[in-house]
Amino acid sequence: MLSTAIALTAQKFVNTLDKGGNPYILHCLRVMNGVDQNDEELMCIAVMHDLVEDTNVTLDELRYLGFSERVIRGVDTMTHRDEEDYETYIKRIALNPDTIKVKRSDLIDNSNITRLKGLRKKDFDRLEKYSKAFIYLKDL
C-alpha cells in the first residue's frame, strides 16, 4: 500500500509548490522519511498527511483503495479542520501515537528555513508556532 500512497499523493500534488517554490511532494516524502522506516502504515500516514486537507481526496476514497483503518484514522487526525484553532488541532494530534510521530516529522521539515527563499515576520511567527507545537508533542 505504500507505493499506492506515494503515487496518489504525487498525483494529487502535481504542479503544487511549497512556500519555497519547490514541488510539494518533496515535503510529503521528507515527512515520510522522518518516521519509522519499518512501519509501512505509519509511512502511509506520513506521506498522505496533507492529502485530505489540501486536495479533493476523501477518507472514503482511501478506504475504497484498501488502506487500513489505522491509516485512515491517522490521515483523518492529521487533517486540520476549518473550525479548529491550531492549539486544539495539536491537542487532538497528541491523542494518537501515530500522528504524534508524523506531526513531529512535519514540524521538523516545516521549520527548515533553508527551504524558504527569504524570511519575513510571518515566517518567524509561523516558526514560533511550530516550535511550541513541537515542544508540546516532544515528550508524549
Q: pLDDT tens digits for 67-119?
A: 999 999 999 999 999 999 999 999 999 999 999 999 999 999 988 766 766 66
Taking the model in full, what pTM does it have?
Answer: 0.88
Which domains does the chain carry? 2-138 (1.10.3210.10)
pLDDT tens per residue across span 30-46: 999 999 999 999 999 99
Q: Which of 89, 85, 110, 103 is nearest to 140 (CA)?
A: 103
